[in-house]
Structure 1
Amino acid sequence: MVDRANRPSALSTPAAAAPGAQVDIVGTGANSKVIATLPSGESVEVLLYGATVTSWKSNGGKTENLWLSEKAAVDGSKPVRGGIPVVFPVFGPPPKSGHPTSSLPQHGFARNSRWEFLGKSTSEDALDSTSVKLDFGLYSSGLTEDTRKAWPLDFGLQYSVTLAKDSLQTIVNVRNEGDKSFEFQFLLHTYLRIKDISKIAINGLLGVEYIDKVLNASTHQQKDESVTITGEVDRVYASIPQDTTSVVEAGKPRFDVVRDNLSDTVVWNPWTEKAAAMGDFAPNEGFKEMVCVEVGTVKGWQKLEKGEVFEGGQTIKSIL
């Protein structure tokens, strides 16, 4: 046999591509939703009606972090009770008269309008797909005729929902696409799933002034280190200096809610009577397994001039 000086080297086998996040659109019409699942099992579901996040599972897909009413309407007939509804351009009942939002329903129109799914993007490392971002859009042209009459202003909303192994980020981008300035409020009405409301403490609000809607919208200051829930709670904490509000359950950290360019947080639990009065709230004792920690800009109004953009949102970290 001839000994060749330059033998061909063995061909190296290319490494298999890292598994990517799976994104599916399921359902039709008002029931359509986008489901994203990481290779490690974490998942998020976003209903196109309202761009409402209805499920977020961490811990390899074993732990549901959001509370969704058993009677929640997910057919586009009304806003969803639970998950993360998007509140825009007004929070709560609109001003009675003299304001551009006065003709809108409570919490505005974003949560009961059909959004467009704009696509996905992923972040990958050598071993795994570590996150997936889903983008949704709502524009003036996509509103109903009645809504356009009630709020005849030109705008664009882009909502980005980013799922990672232990966190969910939800960011809204608001653009003024018209010739006139407009004012708005914005809130992410997040329903966090917990095991026992009597064992919950909400930290990070010490010293902050709040409006207590249960006590005739009177103003108070948070004097205790922790907010605990022993009855109906509906408070608007404004101009919070620190970015993180933490939810502790039975003495152990459960959630960190980190605000991004937002100054306010609403803490809400309907308790017995108010839960019973809501036809889409179920089970009746469901208030014991949820607490709303809602980031937003709702004390006063944000103003956008022609061509200006506002962006804000949150990152929720699930701690187990």
Structure 2
Amino acid sequence: MAINIIKEGDRSPRIILHEPTGSTVEVLLYGAQVISWKNERREELLFMSNKAVWKPPKPVRGGIPICFPQFANFGSLEQHGFARNRLWLLDDDPSPLTPTNNQSSADLVLKSTEDDLKTWPYRFELRLRIAVSAGRLTLIPRVRNVDNKAFSFTLALRNYFSVSDVSEVRVEGLETLDYFDNLSKKERYTEQADAITFDGEIDRVYLSTPTKIAIIDHEKKRTIVLRKEGMVDAVLWNPWDKKAKAIPDLGDEDYKTMLCLDAAAVENPISLRPFEEWKGRQELSIVSSSYYSGQLDPQKVLNGFH
């Protein structure tokens, strides 16, 4: 399959994927970050800050950055790890993944460098397959331990979704679950609401979540469905007005039209023995909200893959 690699000025090179019905995906080689996903009507489905910085080493605020080998901020590593701040390469050996015959896809790889080993002393290979088909975007991250000693990591795919008005959308599929509240010193709570709605800053790690979570956006008449495997946690984040003003690469009003819902492995780090490999999967799909008239049937959310 031919892959278009575009280079513009001092921006990082990017890959553009097209599929037959007209939807497209753009991916930066820097960070292997998806920066655009448009449907067949050319509507943008991901959020991008209007103050995004497009020059490395700053990660771009929006799209889908990958957080590895840590999510959040611990020790000497940069926040959310270094994978999103490295130049990735096209992967010429994506085996054992099967070819994507009916999709447009790209395989990227990041291998540890001597500089990386100074801050995180483990040799690894991190691979990411990005595949787009009609109404669907799939990301398959894989981590291989190529060291002679075991290591553990946490990981997240930070999904910045474009929404009509965050105060009008709701998230279903996280009801009754425990979560860590990062706004309350990571204290553990249990979700009491029937559906999660937003009227202020939120920064939560939901634990042991179902394989399927939905964002219902009535104004846009669509529901975003996140399906995931291998990443049992889910992170919800919106900075709201005060914190948005304090984030240099986020517009003051940007918080109103964005919501982060991340597939993540945070509470229990993933451990790999030498030469073991871990694989996750995230599938984003868009369905017309008429499919979910009124309340979304929780059982349909919780049933996972179909």
Q: What secondary structure, in the 3-state scheme, does the structure 2 residue paired with 1:123 have?
A: coil
TM-score, with length taken from structure 1: 0.84
The one-letter code sitting in structure 2 at the alignment partner of 1:292 is: C
CA distance in 2: counterparts of 1:225 and 1:317, whole angstroms: 23
Q: CA deviation at 1:83?
A: 0.3
- Corresponding position: 1:53 with 2:34: yes
- Counterpart of 1:231 in structure 2 is 200
On the 8 A contact 2:35/2:48 being kept in 1, the answer is yes
Q: Is the 8 A contact 2:50 2:254 kept in 1?
A: no
Q: Please tell me the root mean square deviation across aligned C-alpha atoms, in Å.
A: 1.7
Give the whole-Å Cα distance in 2 for the aligned partners of 1:82 and 1:152: 29
The separation in 1 between residues aligned to 2:275 and 2:192, in whole angstroms, is 42
Q: Is the 8 A contact 2:117 2:123 kept in 1?
A: no
Aligned-residue sequence identity (percent) comes to 35
Give 1:74 deviation, angstroms: 2.2
Q: Which residue of 2 aligns with 1:287?
A: 255
Indicate how the Cα distance of structure 1 residues 272 and 175 shifts in structure 2: closer, same or farther if over 3 A, else same.
same
For residue 226 of structure 1, give the secondary structure of its aligned residue in structure 2: coil
What SS is found at the alignment partner of 2:118? Answer: helix
> Contact (CA 8 Å) 1:22, 1:37: kept in 2 or not?
no
Give runs of aligned pairs for residues 204-223 of structure 1, distance below 5 A: 204-223=173-192
Instruction: Provide the rounded CA distance (Å) in 2 between the counterparts of 1:107 and 1:248.
Output: 28
What residue number does 2:271 align with?
303
Q: Which residue of 1 aligns with 2:80?
A: 107
Q: CA deviation at 1:61?
A: 4.4
Over 2 Å off, 4+ runs: 118-122, 145-148, 250-253
**How far did 1:248 drift?**
0.6
Confirm or deny: 8 A CA contact 2:145 2:272 kept in the other structure.
yes
Which ranges of structure 1 fall in alignment gaps of 5 or more residues?
1-20, 95-101, 125-130
Q: Do structure 1's residue 170 and structure 2's residue 139 form an aligned pair?
A: yes
- Structure 2 gap segments, 5+ residues each: 289-306
TM-score (norm 2): 0.88
- Is the partner of 2:143 in helix, strand or coil? strand
Question: Partners in 2 of 1:37 and 1:27 — Cα distance?
Answer: 17
Q: After superposition, where does 1:147-186 map in structure 2 within 5 Å?
A: 147-186=116-155
The aligned residue for residue 15 of structure 1 is none
Residue 80 (str. 1) matches residue 60 (str. 2): yes
Structure 2 counterparts to residues 32-71 of structure 1, below 5 A: 32-58=13-39, 60-71=40-51
Mapping of residues 198-209 of structure 1, within 5 Å: 198-209=167-178
Between the aligned partners of 2:165 and 2:248, the Cα distance in structure 1 is 22
Given that residues 30 and 49 in structure 1 are in contact (C-alpha distance below 8 angstroms), is that contact kept between their aligned partners in structure 2? no
